[in-house]
Amino acid sequence: MKLFSKVELSYNEFKSQLIADYRIAFESRQISIIGRREVLTGKAKFGIFGDGKELAQIAMAKVFRDGDWRSGYYRDQTFAFASGITDYHKFFAQLYAHPDIDVEPASGGRQMNCHFSTQIIDANGNWLDHTQQKNSSSDVSTTGGQMPRLVGLAQASKIYRDREDLQHMTTFSNMGNEVAFGTIGNASTSEGVFFETLNAAGVMQIPMAISIWDDGYGISVPNEIQTTKEDISEILKGLQRDEKGEGFEIFKVRGWDYPALVATYERAIQVCREKHIPVMIHVTEMTQPQGHSTSGSHERYKTKERLEWEREFDCISKMRSWMLETQVCSNEELEELEKESKDKIKTIQQQVWKDYLAVFATEKEEAIKLVYDLNNEQAYKLAEELRLMYEPSLKDIYGLVRKALRIVRKEDSTAKSRLLRWYERHQEVNTDRFHSKVFTESIEGVEYITETAVEYPAEVNLVDGREILNACFIANFERDARILAFGEDVGAIGDVNQGFAGLQLRFGEERVFDTGIRENTIIGQGIGLALRGLKPIAEIQYLDYILYAITALSDDLASLSYRTKGGQKAPVIVRTRGHRLEGIWHSGSPMAMLLDTLRGMHICVPRNMTQAAGMYNVLLRSDEPALVIESLNGYRLKEPLPENVGEFTVPLGVAEIMKAGSDVTVVSYGSTLRIVEAAAEELEGLGISIEIIDPQTLQPFDIRNTCGKSLSKTNRLLIVDEDMPGGASAFILQQILEEQKGYFHLDGQPRTLTAKAHRPPYGSDGDYFTKPSVDDVVEAVYAIMNEANPEKYPTIF
């Protein structure tokens, strides 16, 4: 059994590596201990650490190469140190939430500690060379949330290996030889997303290596309650590869057995890398010496016998004993190493804390001086209070300044003006610290895509809307080899509404392919593929089913740019269809949910397939993620086929006036817009002129203030929407009345017309009575005019 590699080592080299590994394990443990103390003293807000998992992670780091990818969770600190994806200084900087991305490159202080991430793009949003570094996709706190993207990260290696037309993308892959490493806790293997991911990887046969850190518990819940047979690898034996060559290679090893861990990881990853197949390493008998996190103590739920066992089988203690037994080191040598390591970690921690405070020291001193200069007794006391604070936070500093400005609100002085200017200037600094990079803000952002008008031939060719989408996709697939499309029924039949019809035959199964019914993993595939430089279109068959993918969309994709402060991007386009099909499960418009959970993604709601095509033409040229919701009842409606179907653009955030009018501004989108247009005809007969506006996208919303300008003319507003009451209509109202200052133009109460507060029942009558109809729109507009002029527009009911 060779512990390190196929290269023969001298005894001194062997001893040196053993000592280096023990040092990393011991120092990582000291960081866990000190980190917990820092939280309990109040310097850090929350702490979660990787104690008890050190040896397995060192073994994994030995086989983690440049170009490989990690998709893990918050127990991986020792792996992060051993692989070099972070260091001790950066670890403590994250613990203290240091807002400087150069000091804390994983998140710029936006994520809790042990949430690792490597920068894969530069400050301008350009891709770095992933093959020359070890890569970690940004962690999420949901303990199974790292699994879906792992599929895409591994699938990308297979794609790069198999497709000759991508061989030039040498900064993303070395002929597909990369392994995607995933880690998960034993308790989280109870989650559906774990099984969904495993099944997908087994079907696809991709180079994915999953490590399960098994310490017997999920916070306070033991394996006997978490897992059938109390053993995840036992119940997954059906996935073991067989004579057909399908499934997983499954390995099992104890977390305190250093020689076996090193040998197991070397063998497992060799199989994964060379045979390009998935492997699973179940690491058992791990411990968690400090409990789950700083929020509680494991002594409350572990028995005395379990705690004694954990002390005896602590992996660092076992490695130390093994090194003494094999006479690799003497006790004196190890004691000296341990003393040096403790001193080293304590020194680093103190220095990082000092550096953290120094960032704000200048702001503190400037604020104190400016508040003193106000020459106000109350403000003076505030400044003195701040001056005497030993370790003030930004909250303390800026809270003082804001309070001082309130105190002198009635004064007019040069000192007050100086303080106000200082505060306003530093608001820009704090915006960068805490609010920036919701999108990557690169030159490939949607706002920089050249606007190209739609062009039609002299003889208009009316076709089904689906044919426009089909032509748009064909043109883009021919233009850019990086584009892929996948989802349920996308491949063989070209999706249920034929937007991808014939594309698999034309471009091959490697670019247009089916997936199983696994919405969360479909989105995860998209994220992983996009992180590795590809341009995925991930299809969720119906908008209602996006609920099954919302965790991957919200926790991962939508927050990716923000939580890495622009260090990572994943330009996934999520394609789906929704709105007015009849029935509880196929007619949803949960727009409020999407608006709340998908900040960091564009939300496109095209009224027809031409508009959808123009949006795809923008998104497929940009580097920002988006959700496109096509109108489900619009695929067979006739539209003129553009000449430049793969080139014209519909700029995101630009609302369009569909019909000019003078009496009421009516804002609607998607399928409901056609209802409004039909109602406009009857309203004209009633002597009412409405101005119809289609915002086209809800994120961003009407960046040119088209709605507000219309309201300044009509002074009356109606929002028509298929979401439930208080949903997207409330968001649109907020945007128009607050952001666009539309409140000041109102002559009457603004109104919303929405679906009822339940899902629509099946059938045309269910649709009529549940969602806005032409009759509803006519009567809602008429009621607004009745309020304005009851004599001219007498009450109907």
Q: What percent of the chain stands above pLDDT 90?
A: 91
Contact 610, 572 (CB under 8 A): no
What pLDDT does 589 receive?
A: 85
Region 273-292: mean pLDDT is 94
- The whole-model pTM stands at 0.96
Distance between CA atoms of residues 326 and 342, nearest Å: 25
Higher local confidence (pLDDT), 319 or 10: 319
**Mean pLDDT estimate for the chain:** 95
Identify which of 423, 350, 428 has the alpha carbon closest to the alpha carbon of residue 391: 350
Say if residue 489's pLDDT is above 60.
yes
Q: Bridge-partner residues for 659, per DSSP?
A: 692
Q: Is 256 exposed, middle or buried (0-12, 13-18, 19+ CB in 10 A)?
A: buried
Region 103-114: mean pLDDT is 96
Active site residues: 586
What pLDDT does 692 receive?
A: 98
Distance between CA atoms of residues 779 and 797, nearest Å: 10
Q: Are strands 279-284 and 249-254 parallel, antiparallel or unpaired?
A: parallel
The distance between the two most distant Cα atoms of the chain, rounded to a whole number of Å, is: 103
What pLDDT does 8 receive?
A: 64
What pLDDT does 14 receive?
A: 86
Q: How confident is the model at residue 293 (pLDDT cuts 50, 70, 90)?
A: confident
Q: Is 171 exposed, middle or buried (0-12, 13-18, 19+ CB in 10 A)?
A: middle
The set of long-range contacts for 680-689, using a CB threshold of 8 Å and a minimum separation of 24, is 682/774, 682/778, 683/778, 683/781, 683/782, 686/778, 686/782, 686/793, 687/792, 687/793, 688/663, 688/664, 688/781, 688/782, 688/785, 688/793, 689/661, 689/662, 689/663, 689/664
Say if residue 423's pLDDT is above 80.
yes
Distance between CA atoms of residues 183 and 648, nearest Å: 44
Question: Two tokens at 680?
Answer: 């406009």
Identify which of 240, 57, 277, 250 has the alpha carbon closest to the alpha carbon of residue 154: 277
Contact 120, 128 (CB under 8 A): yes
What angle in degrees, to the nearest 10, is found between the helix axes of 315-325 and 331-372?
Answer: 140
Identify which of 125, 149, 131 has the alpha carbon closest to the alpha carbon of residue 139: 149
Say if residue 1's pLDDT is above 50.
no
Question: Two tokens at 83?
Answer: 């692989």
278: preceding bond cis by omega (within 30 degrees): no
What pLDDT does 2 receive?
A: 41
Give pLDDT tens digits for 364-388: 999 999 999 999 999 999 999 999 9
Give pLDDT tens digits for 143-178: 899 999 999 999 999 999 999 999 999 999 999 999
Question: Two tokens at 79?
Answer: 């792996």
Say if residue 280's pLDDT is above 60.
yes
Q: How confident is the model at residue 7 (pLDDT cuts 50, 70, 90)?
A: low
Count of CA atoms in the C-beta half-sphere (13 A) of 716: 19
H or E element at residue 192: helix 192-204
First to last CA, the chain: 88
255-264, 410-419, 501-510, 579-588: which range is least confident on average?
579-588
Distance between CA atoms of residues 675 and 277, nearest Å: 52
Contacts for 260 with CB less than 8 Å, ≥ 6 apart:
253, 254
For residues 522, 524, 526 and 532, what is the CA-based torsion angle, rounded to 10 degrees? -150
Give pLDDT tens digits for 514-572: 999 999 999 999 999 999 999 999 999 999 999 999 999 999 999 999 999 999 999 99
Give pLDDT tens digits for 391-404: 899 999 999 999 99
